[in-house]
């Protein structure tokens, strides 16, 4: 599971970025000047949500407070222990309290995200656990108990909505059928309880076999085109996003498209490391490499060799990348936008 950044590391990253602005300013500024049409001014009143994660709570909070355009936030995330009991991390509870003190609650709709991750007593994790979902959703009785648990958790902690992020169902069509039943039942309960509901879907969702009910807001993850599972490249490109918009046409009701900040570092020895935007710029500064912007995705990329002479290739998104992706979505209709995630970004306010 992702590790929580220390304050010291976060400080070093921020300092590194400011050094970049001096040593790499000519290269990066030239790239930015090539595509001025993609840069947006900050706008208020937009349907823009961002995720806050418990392992980078302080940085995420600071970015949220400096971004007027974000009117919704998902706190990521409640997970499960080995007894299939819901756990809300203390960091999330503390983060929510701090934000509520610093930001007018009337300006922000707050969701609690539930994920199908298990954290075991020995410290190990089972992420995106399909067996967990089969246990929770196997019949009406277990589903009702699960619904009771998540609604109680959300209401007890002052959330206005729930987000269900259950992943890696893949080609388990029996589980998809149970998941659809769960959505129908959960949506009815949320309506009775006055809670909003979001359902996160992966790009591999079998829309030809799963008929999603109207009611919740459905959120398509427009990322993972490239990542730890394959060769170097952008998290998304324009064609990928347009195809996902087409896939979502079968969905009735509110639709939302999620975009991811940051990127990955692929090394020639096979290791792949996730990077925030700040970390990607810091590596760029240290390596002295030349950065390029990919025409098909708007993403930045560069190569460098480390101290062990191992070749690396980095692809990542900056604010221009994200604004280009948002422009592609807006050209195809009126949809909500979600940003994964706050923390580790350089110019988040220019995205909104």
Residue 42 pLDDT more than 70? Answer: no
3-state secondary structure of 336: strand
With the C-alpha atoms ordered 77, 50, 314, 296, is the resulting torsion angle positive or negative? positive
DSSP state of 203: T
In this prediction, residue 68 carries a pLDDT of 83
Q: Has residue 285 been placed in a domain?
A: no
Domain span at residue 226 reads 38-261+319-350
Q: Has residue 273 been placed in a domain?
A: no
In this prediction, residue 12 carries a pLDDT of 38
In this prediction, residue 107 carries a pLDDT of 82
Q: Has residue 198 been placed in a domain?
A: yes
Contact partners, residue 263, CB within 8 Å, separation at least 6: 234, 235, 274, 275, 277, 280, 299, 300, 314, 315, 316, 317
In this prediction, residue 280 carries a pLDDT of 99
In this prediction, residue 130 carries a pLDDT of 98
Helices (H), 138-225: 140-156, 173-193
Instruction: List the structure tokens of 133.
Output: 């979902």
In this prediction, residue 46 carries a pLDDT of 60
Q: Has residue 163 been placed in a domain?
A: yes
Length of the chain (residues) = 352
Residue 44 exposed, middle or buried by CB count within 10 Å (0-12, 13-18, 19+): exposed
Residue 27 pLDDT more than 50? Answer: no
Residue 35 pLDDT more than 50? Answer: no
Q: Has residue 3 been placed in a domain?
A: no
Residues 22-34 have a mean pLDDT of: 41
Q: What is the domain count for the chain?
A: 1
Residue 253 pLDDT more than 70? Answer: yes
Residues 154-168 have a mean pLDDT of: 98
Helix 7-23 and helix 57-65, axial crossing angle in degrees, nearest 10: 50
Query: pLDDT digit string (tens) for 82-96?
Result: 999 999 999 999 999
Q: Has residue 254 been placed in a domain?
A: yes
Which CATH number fits the domain that encloses residue 57? Answer: 3.20.20.80
Contact partners, residue 220, CB within 8 Å, separation at least 6: 201, 203, 205, 244, 247, 248, 255, 256, 257, 258
Residue 4 pLDDT more than 70? Answer: no
What is the number of H-type helices and E-type strands within the chain?
10, 15
Residue 11 pLDDT more than 80? Answer: no
Return the closest-CA partner of residue 322 out of 38, 29, 30, 33. Answer: 38
Q: Do 344 and 278 contact (CB within 8 A), yes or no? A: yes
Residue 34 pLDDT more than 90? Answer: no
Q: Has residue 23 been placed in a domain?
A: no
Helices (H), 103-167: 130-137, 140-156
What band does 37 get if pLDDT is binned at 50, 70 and 90? very low
Cα(262)–Cα(317) distance, integer angstroms: 5
Query: pLDDT digit string (tens) for 292-340?
Result: 999 999 999 999 999 999 999 999 999 999 999 999 999 999 999 999 9
What band does 251 get if pLDDT is binned at 50, 70 and 90? very high
Contact partners, residue 51, CB within 8 Å, separation at least 6: 73, 74, 75, 76, 113, 338, 339, 340, 341, 342
Residues 45-55 have a mean pLDDT of: 88
Mean pLDDT of the chain: 90
Integer angstrom CA distances of residue 208 from 133, 171, 173, 204, 278: 21, 12, 11, 11, 39
Q: Has residue 2 been placed in a domain?
A: no
In this prediction, residue 103 carries a pLDDT of 76
DSSP state of 343: S
Residues 241-252 have a mean pLDDT of: 98
């Amino acid at each position: 599971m992702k590790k929580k950044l220390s304050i010291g590391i976060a400080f070093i990253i921020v300092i590194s970025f400011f050094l970049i602005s001096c040593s790499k300013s000519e290269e990066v500024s030239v790239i930015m000047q090539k595509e001025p049409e993609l840069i947006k001014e900050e706008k208020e009143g937009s349907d823009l949500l961002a995720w806050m994660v418990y392992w980078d709570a302080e940085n995420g909070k600071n970015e949220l407070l400096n971004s007027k355009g974000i009117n919704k936030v998902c706190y990521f995330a409640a997970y499960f222990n080995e007894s299939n009991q819901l756990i809300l991390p203390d960091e999330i509870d503390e983060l929510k309290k701090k934000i509520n003190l610093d930001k007018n609650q009337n300006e922000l709709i707050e969701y609690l995200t539930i994920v199908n991750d298990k954290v075991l007593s020995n410290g190990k994790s089972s992420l995106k656990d399909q067996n967990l979902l089969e246990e929770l959703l196997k019949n009406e009785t277990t589903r009702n108990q699960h619904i009771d648990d998540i609604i109680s958790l959300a209401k007890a902690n002052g959330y206005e909505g729930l987000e269900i992020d259950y992943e890696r169902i893949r080609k388990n069509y029996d589980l998809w059928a149970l998941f659809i039943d769960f959505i129908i039942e959960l949506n009815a309960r949320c309506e009775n309880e006055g809670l909003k509901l979001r359902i996160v879907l992966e790009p591999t969702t079998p829309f030809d076999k799963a008929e999603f009910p109207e009611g919740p807001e459905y959120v398509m993850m427009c990322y993972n085109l490239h990542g730890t599972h394959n060769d170097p490249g952008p998290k998304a490109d324009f064609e990928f996003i347009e195809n996902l918009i087409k896939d979502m046409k079968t969905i009735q009701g509110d639709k939302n498209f999620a975009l991811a900040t940051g990127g990955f570092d692929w090394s020639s020895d096979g290791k792949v490391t996730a990077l925030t935007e700040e970390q990607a710029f810091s590596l760029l500064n240290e390596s002295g490499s030349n950065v390029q912007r990919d025409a098909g995705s708007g993403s930045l990329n560069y190569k460098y060799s480390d101290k062990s002479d191992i070749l690396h290739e980095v692809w990542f998104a900056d604010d221009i990348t994200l604004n280009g992706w948002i422009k592609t979505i807006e050209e195809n209709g009126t949809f909500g936008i979600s940003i994964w995630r706050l923390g580790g970004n350089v110019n988040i306010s220019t995205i909104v």
